[in-house]
Structure 1
């Protein structure tokens, strides 16, 4: 059995983080999110993959190659223009045979659920009971069959959502060939599924766990999930006088200097310098080549590779892109005074504690303040003593 993973999209809702990388390559606990999906499917006994790539596909191909490093076989189908999930399915027609698993690339699944889904008769849809179904395509089910599918309704008919995981036979290709363009100008896989639903042949398999990674702040939830089973591994240098509580990984070539206090789970990449006297709190992932310096506190955050947060900084509940530099004293607020849900660029984050999304290459001067819910585009320059808030476009210069 083969597994097709849809990985061609940019992920516009993830901007500015996807300006220089495809969505599925965004890091969770210092590994691309799609790697967890491949590993879970492999552990379920499926080792042949087809990745549908498109936007910045070179990064995916370079990282995974033929899949041998993960103990699997990977082939690629290129979707030259991102014309929807139905069009993506068309692109693998000549690369799969018989039954196959189809997975959206921007989610986390367990190996047990991948195994159960792979054993189901085709056609089958993986479903999940959600606390906020209005954000997803919602299904109705009767006697184990999908009887209805409604896309993102403010008044959903059930709490069961389409999880973006399927088992298909070859007849799916005839169905996607028969659909037309949707109102969004795309060929939607869900339009093809309606043919199954009308015939009463689309079965449903409820997943035990499911983590959607569709927004920048949902990276934090996924990061916390993947760090939950972390085991301590110290491959770098930890100087005398460092305090570590809980599971912590320190990568090769990294140095944790004296006076630093780390509470796990936390993963620190390779060739980093941490401290002296830094405070790194739980559910934090620090990418390769980062510097987290004196009197800096990082909490429940993801810091991409090559970023420097070197003195007297605070970063909480935030996602920080690669190659950024924080001037001394620059801090990110992560809590509203009214303790309300933080909004970012007009969108609900669902979080009472959320700091900011910072794109790649952002340079802060000293003593800057970044307000809750800020989204700062790539290559923004911020003058000393500036207040940063709201949605900031790529390349903006703030302050003097």
Structure 2
């Protein structure tokens, strides 16, 4: 599979503003987007291994700033654990990484890359074939091949850019986040009964001919923009097409965005339900296939502190119901009466009796009190939900609780974000969309 001469360029310098509080370890300390926990591992590890399994053995990571660079390097090192080689962008060039396109071009020069490279971000999960991207690149003799995702006009409207393509699968134009009437006017074929129902949108992954791209970028306009702001989708691709350079399009099977809470939870749910075969193979054989779930053996053996029975016993007797789409990590204690569905549970979590969790994430060492009800929400590492039967905690509708926060019994949040380490007394009625970033924010709703 793949081509061992192809290298990977991972753009890991973003600050993850949209994904807060997932990307916060404290209110003033950002966790790199690359290290967002996903199905038991930092996201960047899944990306490295998906590329490695398709033949890429050398990677270049474009980092940004001391927090971002040091965090990623602590996790990946120089690739020894993953059987690959990893280099990092030099810190003195950080000021030049102004946008994804500029970061790519500057570091192509720094590393003097001349072969083929796969450029990809760290806030998305891809299901793709490198062989197909390479074939499309060769067939079109393209400088860049854009990985594309097919979306319906309704999915696209106001959210995604659309690429116009020729019958030879070359890009000939762009529409940036068009509204539905514009889509229907510009692409009349989608309204015909026998016409296509989807259009090609940019997935944010690019296979590039490094030498030709470096040469193509040496125009006064692109040199100037690379010193100011140059993004791949908005700036670099349109200018390459405008200059007559061949830019090909090749569809990939699936793209999962992890840049905000909703997309993160949706992508995780899809992954646990088998819609990303590459990740599915890495997760290994499920403990059960109907319903489908994974449970580490140490958690199956763990006894809860009230009944003294193991999770395996409780599943067998029906006092705990699990699945489909559940992953339980190591040394998790699960009480009687717990119900879990479409949920990822990290290592060392305590789930007390009667808790119900669906469509959610529970981070490492979180403590979920009795009869808590959590749906479509994110609960970070070391969070404590001090729930009890008389006044259960309830989280729903894309609520997110940052690392180490504590929520007292009776708290009810819908669509609310709680920043790390905050203590939240029993509150309810906080408007959806509110971000509780400090103790002063919390006191407003007490």
Structure 1 length as normaliser, TM-score?
0.81
Structure 1 segments, 4+ long, off by >6 Å, are none
- Choose between structure 1 and 2: higher strand proportion: 1
Residue in structure 1 matched with residue 230 of structure 2 by the alignment: 187
Q: 2:383 aligns with which of 307, 313, 333?
A: 307
Distance 1:164 1:214, change over 3 A: same
For 1:171-210, list aligned pairs within 5 A.
Answer: 171-178=212-219, 179-180=222-223, 185-190=228-233, 191-198=235-242, 199=244, 201-210=246-255
Choose the corresponding residue for 1:39, options 26, 41, 49.
Answer: 49
SS at match of 1:120: helix
- Quote the residue 1:128 is aligned against: 149
Deviations 1:333-356 (CA, angstroms, capped at 9, x unpaired): 3xxxxxxxxxxxxxxxxxxxxx23
Deviation at 1:308, TM superposition (A): 0.8
1:6 aligns with 2:11: yes
Picking from 160, 167, 173, the partner of 2:200 is 160
Q: 1:256 to 1:324 in 2, by over 3 A?
A: same
Task: Give the aligned CA root-mean-square deviation in angstroms.
Answer: 2.7
SS at match of 1:61: helix
Distance 1:24 1:151, change over 3 A: farther
CA–CA distance in structure 1, aligned partners of residues 178 and 264 of structure 2: 24
Whether 1:113 aligns to 2:118 is: no
Q: Does 1:381 align with 2:439?
A: yes
Q: Name the CA shift for 1:119/1:238 in 2 (closer, same or farther; >3 Å).
A: farther
Point out the structure with max Rg over C-alpha: 2
Is 1:51 the counterpart of 2:52? The answer is no
- For the 8 Å contact 2:12–2:122, the answer to whether it is kept is yes
2: CA distance, partners of 1:193 / 1:210? 20
Could you tell me which residue of structure 2 aligns to residue 337 of structure 1? none
Which structure has more relative contact order (CA 8 Å, sep 6+)? It is: 2
- Equivalent residue for 2:340? 263
State the alpha-carbon separation in 2 of the partners of residues 39 and 107 from structure 1: 14
What is residue 319 of structure 1 aligned with on the other side?
400
| CA deviation map 1:211-249 (0-9, x unaligned) | 223333211111212222373223221443451322544
Question: Which residue pairs with 1:297 in the alignment?
Answer: 373
* Residue 102 in structure 1 maps to residue 119 in structure 2: yes
Q: Note if 1:332 corresponds to 2:413.
A: yes
2: distance between equivalents of 1:146 and 1:220?
Answer: 32
Gaps of 5+ in 2: 1-5, 25-29, 188-198, 275-282, 287-293
Note the C-alpha offset of 1:366. Answer: 2.1
Cα separation, partners in 2 of 1:115 and 1:327, compared to 1, 3 Å:
farther
Change in CA separation of 1:71 and 1:31 when aligned onto 2, cut-off 3 Å: same
**CA displacement at 1:332 relative to structure 2:** 1.6
In the alignment, which residue of structure 2 is the partner of 1:74?
A: 86
Distance 1:34 1:151 in 2: 28
Structure with greater helix percent:
2
Q: 1:189 to 1:252 in 2, by over 3 A?
A: closer
Q: Which of 174, 190, 195 matches 1:149?
A: 174
Q: CA deviation at 1:72?
A: 2.6
Shift of 1:184: 11
